[in-house]
Structure 1
């Protein structure tokens, strides 16, 4: 009997040591980690019948490493064969790209490394115009996209031991533009939003709007100007914690929050401005539609 007990104690001790070893390897030798669940989705657009991108890998950029050339950044997903996606197939739906453990902390950017258009006659990144009777693919130029990667600006926070769903939300009307001189079509990273949600949403609605501030032109005349750096949060009616957060588009202050059906209060945080709440105004989100919140007007701290 003593031999049996000793054997079980030995086995238990061995299992305990193995578990300790596994925990140590999971957290990178003491570094706390969380899991990023990355998906891709798209806003509706009627100018294109296809917007096709070929993705090689996506990396997360910790706060403070925004100028990195990409080497050593935490890898979220890599594809042995580039992942080909027609983003227009994903209107109000998300497609999971991958999941990975990354160091816990704040992130201000994602790097989207894309396959290069090596053959202009057979592009792997391209658009097809909705009014093109011949439906010919037009190459989509991705400056630096196949080298250091497209810099997709957007804040998200990874908590230790938790799974954080993050979506790349394409807006074709802003992401795909035609150059004035060359008439070439280019891919702009400012047309992609980084949205952090409470859970991965297979289908959803959205609330859209623009964050603005009064700006004095001259002689006391004011106009509304977009806020280029701000975070928008959606809080369910009667709740206290946001279920989704997104940075505004730095070019025009617009945002789009992916949300399940429900009624929401919008909060905005931005350096140099008072925290904003839309209450008592609330916004109802219905699956498969965009709810327009209009303009959210911030007050400057210096003006108080």
Structure 2
């Protein structure tokens, strides 16, 4: 064998070894599980409390109704939460589990009995009637390919203002959940603080309505400030938005802002001024 042929054999051999190595690494990654986190946040309504009971959280990697699997064992449930507490950066980690990699098509939240509502200025707990369809599971489409060895965090934004429906003038209320879902890796956030000047001292304003509108003037979501005047929107798609802050008796504040993937846009401290007669 001459040197030229030996060199050719060596190149071929190294190529085969390299291909085998990379294929092995690829197979290892495909065989590895994916970590999935679900975070629940709230776009609130005008309620003192909205208490819901979650009895199971499931995922489906198939197109079949037989493909539903629970993220966690039965002893992890029920999960009871007051949705009105999930504002200004507060979130509830619903699940943090390793599951097989591959296509995740849907998730669903199974609701139990005992959901209640408390209106503003009233300490009475009002039962929230939950349709049987919701008790079998509220389905949310993901259609996301999960790669082994990676963590995927999804923001579930429960829009309370659209989720509670009064039944005529009966004093009864129905729970019809409206939840928006977005992958944290594909989204950004907006934060800020709302204050007013009282005797030249900036004082935090709690319960101020903060809204996000898209470029077509369609409201995307809303929230309220906490006791420190802070607000935070999570899971927003990248783009340009209008931020509106309103409170009865105060002048409306409006500003255009931009959201970038993986970043928190700081809207700063907004000082609301009293409407003058």
Specify the TM-score bucket, using the shorter chain as the normaliser.
0.5 to 0.7
Distance in 1, matches of 2:148 and 2:267, equals: 31
Q: Deviations over 1:249-277 (max 9, x none)?
A: xxxx83576169xxx9429xxxxxxxxxx
Distance in 2, matches of 1:286 and 1:48, equals: 27
1:115 correspondence with 2:119 = no
CA RMSD of aligned residues (A): 4.2
1:54 correspondence with 2:49 = no
User: Structure 1 residue aligned with 2:239, among 254, 263, 266?
Assistant: 266
Distance in 1, matches of 2:268 and 2:167, equals: 32
Q: Displacement, 1:205?
A: 3.3
User: Structure 1 residue aligned with 2:213, among 209, 216, 224?
Assistant: 209
Structure 2 unmatched ranges of 5 or more: 1-26, 193-210, 223-232, 241-256, 270-277
Structure 1 unmatched ranges of 5 or more: 1-23, 117-123, 213-223, 227-252, 268-280, 290-304
Select the structure that is richer in helix: 2
- Which range moves more in the overlay, 76-85 or 161-170? 76-85
Q: Displacement, 1:285?
A: 2.7
Distance in 1, matches of 2:152 and 2:163, equals: 25
Residue number in structure 2 paired with 1:240: none
Distance in 1, matches of 2:95 and 2:161, equals: 26
Residue number in structure 1 paired with 2:265: 285
CA gap of 1:258–1:138, structure 2 versus 1, over 3 A, is same
Residue number in structure 2 paired with 1:8: none
Distance in 2, matches of 1:288 and 1:185, equals: 38
CA gap of 1:77–1:141, structure 2 versus 1, over 3 A, is farther
Q: Deviations over 1:217-264 (max 9, x none)?
A: xxxxxxx9x8xxxxxxxxxxxxxxxxxxxxxxxxxx83576169xxx9
Q: Is contact 1:61-1:107 (8 Å) kept?
A: yes
Q: Is contact 1:74-1:102 (8 Å) kept?
A: no
How many aligned positions are there?
A: 196
Alignment of 1:15-94 (within 5 A): 33-45=33-45, 47-62=46-61, 65=63, 68-69=64-65, 71-80=66-75, 81-92=77-88, 93-94=90-91
1:130 correspondence with 2:125 = no
TM-score (norm 2): 0.55
CA gap of 1:149–1:159, structure 2 versus 1, over 3 A, is same
CA gap of 1:44–1:95, structure 2 versus 1, over 3 A, is same
1:161 correspondence with 2:154 = no
TM-score (norm 1): 0.51
